Amino acid sequence: MAASTSQHALSSIRLLPTGCFHPDKRASHLHSVSVGRCCPNTRNLGLVCASNSQSSVVEPVQLPGSPKSSAAPKKSSESALILIRHGESLWNEKNLFTGCVDVPLTPKGVDEAIEAGKRICNIPVDVIYTSSLIRAQMTAMLAMMQHRRKKVPIIVHNESEQAHRWSQIYSEETKKQSIPVITAWQLNERMYGELQGLNKQETADRFGKEQVHEWRRSYDIPPPNGESLEMCAERAVAYFQDQIIPQLVAGKHVMIAAHGNSLRSIIMHLDKLTSQEVISLELSTGIPMLYIFKEGKFIRRGSPAGPSEAGVYAYTKNLAQYRQKLDGLLQ
């Protein structure tokens, strides 16, 4: 089933053009890839192995800046990594180049996010990463509302000392029932420059289909004053290595809600795709992809089945045990 769901997820995917700069800065088979030190400036990765100790399925990750955040995290023999492309946005619906423009979801996009949440409702989540754009954040929140554990996703505000202080939680019990949501511009869609807000068909008529196709589908050619997929990959993969892999090594289960191009970049890194292979990879809106991080390697498991289908929970012994615990807690 893992093979069929993985192939289905990759074949059902469509790509929309999106991405961003920070305002102040410029599978038909199981596949595993080793990871190494999480340095944002290196691509030479050595093997890193997590320990074999078991982590609690309900233990929350420490909120950044909390007094206990410097303590050594508990490690696990495996962690779940969930990738979700946001649901349909209002500009997807209008066939406009979106990129870094901050556009919300359509009603269809809301439904897609809810459906994504149902597919992952029995998979543990300790920490959520999203882009800084509302469509990704809406998707993450709507998806987690479907989770059977009923933990509350809370956006972490560390942009200033005051923001951190004002958003403190003073109940330990409430903290245990919360999931931190960390937003990062590095996970934004690729910035489409002067194409943002233009109708795709009208743009093709104006510049020619071949030119627009080259801007949209090439790996290293950016649109006017925009980002290429290669440029998007540099920031997204560096952030993934530096910030997200350490969480997985520590045994935390991670969900990333982001965009077509930033997620394609991360998948390119995980599955060791070539620049030619990645430009043909398309990700459907609202379809989650599951990876298992085990002994320093990522194993792709494809798209989780719906909650009424048990197959995905047999992917690993730990996932099966987690669902059994949920069944016992929530009956």
Catalytic (active-site) positions: 86, 189
Number of neighbouring beta carbons within 10 Å of residue 60: 16
Side-chain half-sphere exposure of 136, counting CA atoms within 13 A: 35
Q: Is 31 marked as a binding-site residue?
A: no
Q: Is 173 marked as a binding-site residue?
A: no
Q: Is 87 marked as a binding-site residue?
A: yes
Q: Distance between CA atoms of 73 and 83, rounded to whole angstroms?
A: 23
Q: Is 200 marked as a binding-site residue?
A: yes
Q: Is 175 marked as a binding-site residue?
A: no
Q: Is 90 marked as a binding-site residue?
A: yes
Positive/negative CA dihedral, 54, 59, 61, 66: negative
Phi, then psi, of 83 in degrees rounded to 5: -115, 130
Length in residues, the chain: 331
Q: Is 99 marked as a binding-site residue?
A: yes
CB-based contact 265:236 (threshold 8 Å): yes
Q: Is 206 marked as a binding-site residue?
A: no
Q: Is 85 marked as a binding-site residue?
A: yes
Positive/negative CA dihedral, 7, 12, 16, 18: negative
Q: Is 91 marked as a binding-site residue?
A: yes
Strands annotated E in 48-175: 78-85, 127-130, 152-155
Q: Is 317 marked as a binding-site residue?
A: no
* Helices of type H across 55-199: 90-93, 107-119, 134-144, 161-166, 172-176
Q: Is 88 marked as a binding-site residue?
A: yes
Residues annotated within the binding site for substrate are 85-92, 98-99, 135, 189-192, 200, 216-217, 260-261
Residues annotated within the binding site are 85-92, 98-99, 135, 189-192, 200, 216-217, 260-261
